[in-house]
Amino acid sequence: MPKNVMIDPAEARKSSVLEFKPIPINQYHKTLSEELIRYSPKDLLRIQRDMQMIRSFETMLNEVKLQGNYKGIEYNHRGPAHLSIGQEASAVGQAYLLGVDDHIYGSHRSHGEILAKGLSAIDKLEEKSLLATMQSYFGGECLRIVEKDAKGNVKDLAIDYLVFGALAEIFGRSAGFNRGMGGSMHAFFPPFGIMPNNAIVGGSGDISVGAALFKKVNGKPGIVIANIGDASLGCGPVWEGMCLATMDQYKSLWDEAHRGGLPLIFNFVNNFYGMGGQPVGETMGFRILARVGAGMATNQMHAERVDGFNPLAVIDAIDRKKRIIEQGDGPVLLDTVTYRFSGHSPSDASSYREKSEIEAWQQIDSLRVFGEDLVKANVCTRSDLDDLKNWADEICLRAFKKAVDLQISPRADLKKIGSLLEQTMFSNGSLPSLDTKRQPEVLLPKDQNPRVKQLSSRSRSAIDEKGQKLSKAKCIGIRDALFEAIFDRFYTDPTLIAYGEENRDWGGAFAVYRGLTEALPYHRLFNSPISEGAIIGSAVGYALEGGRPLVELMYCDFMGRAGDELFNQLAKWQSMSGGLLKMPVVVRVSVGSKYGAQHSQDWTSMCSHIPGLKVVFPATPYDAKGLMYSALTGTDPVIFFESQRIYDEPEHFHPGGVPTGAYEIPIGEPDVKKTGKDLTILTIGATLYRAVEAAKVLEEKHGISCELIDARSIVPFNFEKVIASVKKTRKILLSSDACERGSALQTFAAKITEFAFDELDAPPVVVGARNWITPADEVEDAFFPQPSDIIDAVHTNIIPLKGYSPARPCDTAEMLRRSREGI
Ligand SMILES: Cc1ncc(C[n+]2csc(CCOP(=O)(O)OP(=O)(O)O)c2C)c(N)n1
Ligand SMILES: [Mg+2]
């Protein structure tokens, strides 16, 4: 379906006035006595109890940070502790109604939310399932420590477990919730619906959208809440996340079964400060934060401000918002007003705010005021409140004693071979389907697909049976080979979805997806807003929840717009979770040419520099298909580079051409495309074809036999074939379209020198693109490596070629000059 809305010029140019509906501000007015119908005394005491637990926990950490001890036990906690003393009611109010299927994603200041959500889960779960969770989580390591001196029943044990698991994580212990790999700002515990908390502020703004998308697309129960600080409303991921979350298509184009808005609450924890900057009056212009919902969706995102100093007001708001979401009218926005009495971190002297302001908020401290209200309403006595404090302090002290003791709670040994991080940087799984219980939702049987039919008449190889070269139009090209793998996986994995800019009717930026539109319903293939950050960030959230997203950024250059999502989120959550979570995300990016400086860069080096990403760059249809199958079967994030220059290129190398069926090419294995004996040329991406040309000239004119190796992958990378080749040829040249300085080629060259120093007659020579901007098409040949550049480099730096004079100098003096000038 090419168009949903007819853009009528008369309508677009009509004069009128757009009216916004009133935005509720603190409209909850009930007293505690009035709420005695809704809550039992036990419920109300639980609210007080949970707030008290957060207060005790955070007070303990504050003391540890400020005094280096807690109740006389010394401990030097070197890591961060962003405390939320004062904000307890907003966290407890939010968690009160949530079940374990409701997932929260938060920020650097989330200890309170972790405890509140955890306590709420413990309250709701059956003892049997609580015990099973604790026994199975990381083999029961945390439970074994806690159960030794636990008191009471399973629920009491679970509370000890929650407090200890969070604290041990904060102190970097291997019994912590994330095996000590997350720490204070990243701690989380999925079995209770406590999902990753993000030290990149606003980071949850788009990740949470992907989580909600997963629930919607795959029919999973529960809602998602993004807890975002008020100052982080200025972050790109939050705005992009809101754009992606409020697309009209959920309510207009998606099929009946999937129609409706995302089950998502953007909850702004509005404590009126960033670290020291004030959004209101200084760094932002909204004044009332709830206002920002108004422009995002026609329902104004049902935005409202709620008093986060009153837990009952927050519970009431969550209750109403949940119902709106259930009716399919999400997402919604909450501006939850609160205040932190503690500094941004314990060392913060609060120089940016008046003492009188802190005191004014302390006067209405929710822990005290709510407690007094409970006493006034005869729900409990003052001494009951004291008991609650003692109870919470005691649990915290018990957890503290165990968490600081290295005998009881050791840290992971990361210095040994096979350490936790060596095991968890990649999960290296192989799962063709992430949900084998469901059938993939498709619109057509495979063989009725128009593109499948069209491709069936094409040659699988660049040459016919008689050895004659065929025209590209008659052959399966890289674009088609990618389609075949992706298409097949859509019929295997029901959780697989693809989205990005122009993914549906356009057929993907470069027509790889042509034919998918006919095959897939909207919720499995859709266009996104031009929000590269949110495209990647939401893919992270979708995968964290258990799905497999395939996302596309039209040009590799646009990765700059998604830097955080690619490099801080996608790459890191597997290992930051201690290996608990998987990240089966495939990000397709294309490397352009002809379009100048901002559309023609090869950024493989940036991706390979960041630990945690697999990076591949196939250059032939056979490899593209096999690597795509591997990427879409694996459980790791893969940045899948494609070159726009060669989308039509047929299969020249693999005997028999591109197989029709499924096959996997292992990520990390280079491929010898042509054997030779005098010189090895290792290429990444499309330079393979220029190396083929250069090799032809070198052989025919200069008698140098070249062995061509196509790297295919950059991370991981097995050097065996390259070393074996160098042992034979004793010389190697490396080439790719990436700027030479700091490139993956340079890393490869340095490693080859290290691994095969004694086998080499000359140092490895790198022929990358120049360290310039990519100039306009008409003159870009001077920038990208050409066959002549390869031959020049061979002549100048490896084997002098008789009678040859280089087209461009590339001797040591010239290279030193370029380096001196930074060009
Ligand atoms: C992307 C990013 N920029 C800056 C920081 C440094 N930083 C940490 S907390 C913070 C203030 C965040 O304020 P807000 O979102 O209101 O949350 P609060 O600290 O008030 O809970 C800043 C600027 C960061 N962690 N991440
Ligand atoms: Mg704030």
CB 512 within 8 A of CB 243: no
For residue 100, the CA-to-ligand 1 centroid distance in Å is: 27
Residue 457's pLDDT is what?
96
Q: Please, which pLDDT band fits residue 529 given cuts at 50, 70 and 90? A: very high
Find the ligand nearest to 337 CA: 2
Of ligand 1's listed atoms, the one at least distance from the Cα of 279 is: 16
Q: Per residue in 371-389, is it b (16+ CB within 10 Å) or e — as a string?
A: bebbeebebbeeeebeebb
Averaged pLDDT, 548-570: 97
Torsion of CA 393, 186, 132, 94, to 10 degrees: 70
Find the ligand nearest to 564 CA: 1
Of ligand 1's listed atoms, the one at least distance from the Cα of 203 is: 1
Angle at 442 between CA 441 and CA 445, to 5 degrees: 135
Residue 766's pLDDT is what?
98
Q: Tell me the one-letter amino acid at 556.
A: C
Query: Taking the mean position of all CA atoms in its chain, how far away is CA 431?
Result: 20
Q: How would you list the strands of the sheet with 706-710, edge to edge?
A: 671-674, 706-710, 679-684, 732-739, 765-769
| Tens of pLDDT, residues 787-800 | 999 999 999 999 99
Of ligand 1's listed atoms, the one at least distance from the Cα of 235 is: 1
Residue 2's pLDDT is what?
53
Shortest-distance Cα residue to atom 15 of ligand 1: 229
Query: Taking the mean position of all CA atoms in its chain, how far away is CA 130?
Result: 29
SS3 435: coil
For residue 383, the CA-to-ligand 1 centroid distance in Å is: 39
Strand partners, 707: 680
Residue 787's pLDDT is what?
98
Q: How many CB atoms lie within 10 A of CB 419?
A: 12
Distance between CA atoms of residues 309 and 311, nearest Å: 6
Of ligand 1's listed atoms, the one at least distance from the Cα of 108 is: 9
The chain-wide mean pLDDT, for the chain, equals 97
**In this structure, what are the phi and psi dihedrals at residue 157, rounded to the nearest 5 degrees?**
-60, -40
CB 90 within 8 A of CB 68: no
Among 198, 206, 275, 564, the mutation site with the greatest number of ligand 1 atoms within 8 A of its Cβ is: 275
Shortest-distance Cα residue to atom 9 of ligand 1: 275
Residue 373 has pLDDT above 70, yes or no: yes
For residue 339, the CA-to-ligand 2 centroid distance in Å is: 8
| Residue tagged 């992606």 (tokens) | 244
Q: Which residues make up the environment of ion ligand 2, defined by Cβ < 5 Å?
A: 229-231, 271, 273
Strand partners, 265: 225, 332
Shortest-distance Cα residue to atom 11 of ligand 1: 274
For residue 354, the CA-to-ligand 1 centroid distance in Å is: 20
- Give the pTM: 0.98
Q: How many CB atoms lie within 10 A of CB 38?
A: 13
For residue 228, the CA-to-ligand 1 centroid distance in Å is: 9
Averaged pLDDT, 110-123: 98
Find the ligand nearest to 87 CA: 1
**Cα separation values, 413 from 55, 145, 186, 330, Å:** 33, 18, 20, 45
Q: Please, which pLDDT band fits residue 465 given cuts at 50, 70 and 90? A: confident
Residue 1's pLDDT is what?
52
Distance between CA atoms of residues 186 and 166, nearest Å: 10
Q: Which two tokens stand for residue 357?
A: 């302001």
Residue 338 has pLDDT above 80, yes or no: yes
Of ligand 1's listed atoms, the one at least distance from the Cα of 269 is: 21
**Which residues are known catalytic residues?**
599
Q: CA quadruple 633, 634, 640, 646: dihedral positive or negative?
A: negative
Of ligand 1's listed atoms, the one at least distance from the Cα of 340 is: 20
For residue 274, the CA-to-ligand 1 centroid distance in Å is: 6
| Tens of pLDDT, residues 568-585 | 999 999 999 999 999 999
Strand partners, 589: 553, 641
Find the ligand nearest to 110 CA: 1
Strand partners, 463: 469
Residue 296 has pLDDT above 80, yes or no: yes
Q: Tell me the one-letter amino acid at 664.
A: E
SS3 814: helix
Among 85, 108, 185, 228, the mutation site with the greatest number of ligand 1 atoms within 8 A of its Cβ is: 108
Which of 54-58, 202-206, 595-599 is least confident?
A: 595-599
Of ligand 1's listed atoms, the one at least distance from the Cα of 233 is: 15
SS3 234: helix
Residue 565's pLDDT is what?
98
Shortest-distance Cα residue to atom 13 of ligand 1: 274
**Which of 434, 538, 446, 438 shows the shortest CA–CA distance to 496?**
434
Q: Which two tokens stand for residue 532?
A: 């590269």
Averaged pLDDT, 103-109: 97
| Residue tagged 């010394």 (tokens) | 74
SS3 270: strand
Q: Please, which pLDDT band fits residue 345 given cuts at 50, 70 and 90? A: confident
Averaged pLDDT, 109-137: 98
Among 232, 273, 282, 564, the mutation site with the greatest number of ligand 1 atoms within 8 A of its Cβ is: 232
Residue 90 has pLDDT above 70, yes or no: yes
| Tens of pLDDT, residues 687-717 | 999 999 999 999 999 999 999 999 999 999 9
Find the ligand nearest to 270 CA: 2
**Which of 469, 485, 724, 739 shows the shortest CA–CA distance to 588?**
485
| Tens of pLDDT, residues 299-317 | 999 999 999 999 999 999 9
Residue 5's pLDDT is what?
83
For residue 303, the CA-to-ligand 1 centroid distance in Å is: 23
Q: Tell me the one-letter amino acid at 262.
A: L
Residue 759 has pLDDT above 60, yes or no: yes
Of ligand 1's listed atoms, the one at least distance from the Cα of 275 is: 11
Find the ligand nearest to 113 CA: 1
Residue 136 has pLDDT above 90, yes or no: yes
For residue 353, the CA-to-ligand 2 centroid distance in Å is: 13
| Tens of pLDDT, residues 636-668 | 999 999 999 999 999 999 999 999 999 999 999
DSSP 586: E
Residue 184's pLDDT is what?
94
For residue 109, the CA-to-ligand 1 centroid distance in Å is: 9
Q: Please, which pLDDT band fits residue 198 given cuts at 50, 70 and 90? A: very high
87: Cα within 13 Å, side-chain hemisphere: 32
Residue 349's pLDDT is what?
86
Q: Please, which pLDDT band fits residue 3 given cuts at 50, 70 and 90? A: low
Contacts of 821 (CB under 8 A, 6+ apart): none
Residue 608 has pLDDT above 90, yes or no: yes
Could you tell me what percent of the chain has a pLDDT over 90?
Answer: 97
Shortest-distance Cα residue to atom 21 of ligand 1: 229
Count H helices and E strands in the chain, helices first.
28, 20
Shortest-distance Cα residue to atom 25 of ligand 1: 200
Distance between CA atoms of residues 709 and 656, nearest Å: 19
Averaged pLDDT, 16-39: 96
Q: Which residues form ligand 1's pocket by a CB distance below 6 Å? A: 108-109, 199-201, 229-232, 269, 271, 273-275, 344
For residue 108, the CA-to-ligand 1 centroid distance in Å is: 8
Q: Which two tokens stand for residue 708?
A: 């061509």
DSSP 189: B
Contacts of 381 (CB under 8 A, 6+ apart): 375
